[in-house]
Structure 1
Amino acid sequence: MVVLVDGKPLPDLKDNNVVFMDAFYKEFDSTLGKAAREFRKKPVKHVSNKDITLYVDQHEYAVLCHDSSAVISKLGSDMATTCHIVTLYHKDTKVAAVAHFDGPAKASATDPVTKQGMTDMVHDMLKEIKLRIRMGDGEPESIIKLELNIVCGFCDKRNLSHMLSDHLLKDFETFKSPDGFPPVQFELTMFCSSKWNNKKVEPDQEEPFNCWIVGGVVCDAKTGQIMPAQFDDDARTPVIARRGARCISEVELYPNIYSVQDNCFILRPYSYVSKPTDIPQLLSLSCAELKKKISTSPNAEASGFCLYTRASLQFIQDNPDPMKSVFSVGPLKLQAQIMDELLTWQ
């Protein structure tokens, strides 16, 4: 067993997603369910660029740590509907990771892209922990214990959140450490997701629909504490349209967007896998129409969805071959700096 909840293992992984998740909710309602209900009541942290927080966009992850040389020691993400935001934390070395997983766009018994993204995130975190221990920030361990939190998602009509919850829990449970690293044990301390992050919305003269309660998270690498969060526009940086274009065009790999050693944001080169062919038409649509065309859950999208989707679509239209127009000299690297108490990227 790799994932534990107060010392208890997860239900039988052989069960299908419906049986497994039903057993999960029943088994842990008094612990994780209670924690989720309390978490949903916490005030939402409105994150601005004054908060010096690294923004992780959809289909990305980042690893960082808190120490005297770190420019940034907080990270988070938001605008998650059917998506899940995952945080990991190693208490001794103060290494933290955040990922924004979106899962497959349709029902699937397996999800190799999410599994690979999760694996890559944990591998990068283990490398950073190993480096910190060598530097004297912690003691060598026979088992590396990581605090695991899974947040966001709701009871959507297509059960995409439900399936993503199932995939992620099983992927963490079956994780195997790479050669040269101790085994990992994930201590699941928060699961405010899917069924435990759902509310019924009943608008006037419209059909009721399900919606999320918590749509974003911020994690403090100094303490490991997580809070419900919503990022201001000036905090969703840098180059958010370029990053959104990568996601829209279905590039499968989950990239690590930050170098701890260099205090540097990195956007690695990518080519579009499947870009929309009707971008001019999409850009001309109303917000409601655009949501129906692009979103997995049109009724539940965050307020900034259309603005950021249009910016990403415009970037794709203006850069039909980003390997030539954007990445001709390699990855984009931007140094994190604090100027006038604001996070900037140079």
Structure 2
Amino acid sequence: MPLYVQGKKLTQIQDSVTDFFEEFPHFKENGKELCSQTKKVIQPQGLLYVDQREYAAVTPNDTCIKTLGSDDATTCHIVVMRHSVTKVTCLGHLDGSGTEAGLREMMDLVIRLSDHTTEGRVEVHMIGGFKDSRNLSAQLSIEILKTFHEMNEDVYLETACITDVNNVTKDALEFPVIYGIAVNVANGDVFNASFSTTRPDRTLRSARHFTGGRQMLNIYDNENEQLTIGPFDYDPFENLDLWVRLPDHYIRQYLSTSPEQEPEHFVANVRRTLCFIHDNPKPLETIFKDGKPRRFKIQEDGAWTLLEV
């Protein structure tokens, strides 16, 4: 079934983001409105933070999670799917790896958590990317749009604050306006956001995509209301002893798709991840005991407690 925009069934997806916005200029206006929002700093209470190459979905009846969010997206895109009747909400952080499979898994999860109801529709919000010199953002924008267009389910695109629209020029350089978003599970509001914490186990989760883990992973166990990580192994990181000693500008230049646009904490996060990989080269032996995932439960104050396995 095709993608729908303003109730119109699309016959095809253009190969150019610019052409897409020319056909649907209202996305530019909606995107400008979103970009003009004051960024909200989200506190940890009731927050489920989604990292790169991860996704998670919750129902409005979840007793723990009230907000889904993700940030640090430059060329990456953050996608929100929400069912108009059941209010099941899913958020994923896509970087171009495992895009089609990840989006289809997200859709399947929303449908399953909605008990396969035939009422209502699945609405989608896309945010992220900018006019980068390598055209990576535009390529990902089109890949996501085409994947939605080829799905069996009807998909209603509500927001496309992507690439050209999510862009600002500073000192002759292009930058994304919005790096992160959050969605309120209860009412579906999507807004510009940053996060006071990105726990739990952010370094371990980042290590997976730094070392070749290309698939999108579902990190939330809806039945038990627990965040689950792993188990997974990762490929050896070549010249790791050298990388952990290199100056900051080398890490920024060679371990990012958009070095000039990365947030200030980028290098510190990457260096922390590299050191973690160095100290834990075989996570199936040192982190995931007996091949079991690490399971966490959020507390009222927003702290995540590691559960006994």
Aligned length: 306
| Contact 1:11/1:23, CA 8 A, preserved across alignment | no
**Separation (CA, whole Å) in 2 of partners of 1:189 and 1:269:** 35
From 43, 46, 49, give the equivalent of 1:48: 43
**Separation (CA, whole Å) in 2 of partners of 1:279 and 1:200:** 35
2:124 corresponds in structure 1 to: 148
**Separation (CA, whole Å) in 2 of partners of 1:118 and 1:190:** 16
From 11, 28, 34, give the equivalent of 2:29: 34
Deviation at 1:11, TM superposition (A): 6.1
Deviation at 1:337, TM superposition (A): 3.0
1:7 and 2:7 are equivalent in the alignment: yes
From 294, 303, 309, give the equivalent of 1:343: 303
| Contact 1:266/1:331, CA 8 A, preserved across alignment | no
1:118 corresponds in structure 2 to: 103
SS in 2 for 1:329: helix
Deviation at 1:38, TM superposition (A): 0.5
1:84 corresponds in structure 2 to: 77
What amino acid does structure 2 have at the position aligned with 1:12?
Answer: Q
1:243 corresponds in structure 2 to: 205
Q: 1:267 to 1:247 in 2, by over 3 A?
A: same
**Separation (CA, whole Å) in 2 of partners of 1:317 and 1:81:** 26
Normalising by structure 2, we get a TM-score of 0.94
| Contact 1:271/1:321, CA 8 A, preserved across alignment | yes
1:194 corresponds in structure 2 to: 163
Q: Quote the sequence identity (%).
A: 28
**Separation (CA, whole Å) in 2 of partners of 1:331 and 1:41:** 44
**Separation (CA, whole Å) in 2 of partners of 1:72 and 1:125:** 16
**Separation (CA, whole Å) in 2 of partners of 1:344 and 1:270:** 20
**Separation (CA, whole Å) in 1 of partners of 2:70 and 2:292:** 22
Deviation at 1:7, TM superposition (A): 1.3
Structure 1 residues 234-313: aligned runs within 5 Å: 235-273=197-235, 275-313=236-274
Unmatched segments (≥5 aa) in structure 1: 105-112, 134-139, 177-183, 203-207
Unmatched segments (≥5 aa) in structure 2: none
Of stretches 156-165 and 120-129 in structure 1, the one that deviates more from structure 2 is 120-129
Aligned-CA RMSD value? 1.7
1:231 corresponds in structure 2 to: 195
Deviation at 1:321, TM superposition (A): 1.4
**Separation (CA, whole Å) in 2 of partners of 1:344 and 1:160:** 35
2:89 corresponds in structure 1 to: 96
Deviation at 1:338, TM superposition (A): 2.1
What amino acid does structure 2 have at the position aligned with 1:45?
Answer: K
1:185 corresponds in structure 2 to: 154
What amino acid does structure 2 have at the position aligned with 1:6?
Answer: Q
What amino acid does structure 2 have at the position aligned with 1:54?
Answer: L
**Separation (CA, whole Å) in 2 of partners of 1:36 and 1:22:** 14
| Contact 2:226/2:298, CA 8 A, preserved across alignment | no
| Contact 1:153/1:193, CA 8 A, preserved across alignment | yes
